[in-house]
Structure 1
Amino acid sequence: MEHAAILKQGVHAWNAFAFDEGLQAPQLRGANLCGENLRRVNLAHADLRGADLREVDLTISDLQGADLSGADLRGANLDGANFRGATLDDADLRRARFTGATFAGARLRRANFHGMDLRRADFAEANLRGANLAGTRLMWALIQGADLGGANLTGVEVLGEPLLHAAA
C-alpha cells in the first residue's frame, strides 16, 4: 500500500505502520493530503516535495529533516510543529498558522510567508534567502543567525531586538 493511502487512514495507523516498518524516509512526493487531520503525526525525514497540504492540521507534528520543497501549505495549522532542519524552499505558507513552530536550521529559500503572524516561531540559523516576509509579524520570534539575504522585509513588524541578530 502506498504511503499516502496509509496516512489517510489516520495518524494512529500511520505512526504504528511507520514504527513497525522502521520507516526512515516516507515517500509522499506530490501527495494530495489537502484538509487531512494529521495532528501529532511523525513525518520526520519524509519526502513531501510538491505535496498539496492546504488546510492540513499538522499541530505538534514532527517534520524534522523533511523535504517540503514546493509544497502548498496555504491555510495549514502548523502550531507547535517541528520543522528543524527541514527544507521548505519555494513553499507557499500563506494563511498558515505557526505559533510556537520550530524552523531552526531549516532551509526556507524563496518561501512565501506574506502577511503571516509568525509569533513565537523559531527561525534560529534558518536560511530565509529570498523569502517573502512582507507584512509579517515577528513578535517574540527567534531569528538569531538566520540568513535573510535578499528577503522581502517590507512592512515587517518586530517586537524587541530579534531582527538585529539576523544576517542580512
Structure 2
Amino acid sequence: MRLALAAIALTFAAPTLAAPGPKVVAASFAQLATPLPLPYDETANAKVDVAAARARAKAQHKLLLIDLGGNWCLDCRLLAGTMELPGLREFLAKKYEIVTVDVGRFDKNLDVAAKYGLKDHFGGGVPSVLIVDPKTDTLKNPGRTAALADARTLSPQALSDWLASWVR
C-alpha cells in the first residue's frame, strides 16, 4: 500500500506527459552495488562547484541537476546508487550536468538551497533535487524538489522515470 501511495505521489511530482526513463537493470534497491555511494563531499566549496557545473551545463546545452543531501541519508545514497546504474548513468551524462551539495544536518550550504527558494528542511527533506535551467538560473521543478526524499518507497525504475521526466 505504501509503495502504491508513493507511486501516485511521484506521478504528481513530475511533469505530465513525460516519457519513461531509461530501463534500469535493478528491479529493487537490494540489487544496487554495495556499499552504497557516499556522494557528498563534506569539504567541497558548494558555491564554486555549483557555479562551475552551471557554466558547463550552459555551454553543453544540458540541464543542471543539483542534488542536495548528506551521506547520513539512506534515501540520498539510494538515489546516488541508482544514478550509477548502467543505462541511467549514460542518459544522465547526456542530459544533465550533475553536482552534489552536502547540506550536513540542514546546517551547511543552505545559501545554495535558498538561492532557489528552498528553506528549512527544503519542503520535505533530502535528497532535494533541483532541476535548473542554466540559461536563466531558474528552477524547472519548483514545489517538486523534495519528491525523492522518500526514495526508499519507490523503485530504481521510478527514480529513473522521475529524472527523465524533466528532459524535453
TM over 0.5: no
Question: Which is higher, the Rg of structure 1 or of structure 2?
Answer: 1
Q: TM-score, normalization: structure 2?
A: 0.23
Greater share of strand: 2
Q: TM-score, normalization: structure 1?
A: 0.23
Answer 1 or 2: higher relative contact order, Cα 8 Å, separation at least 6.
Answer: 2
Greater share of helix: 2
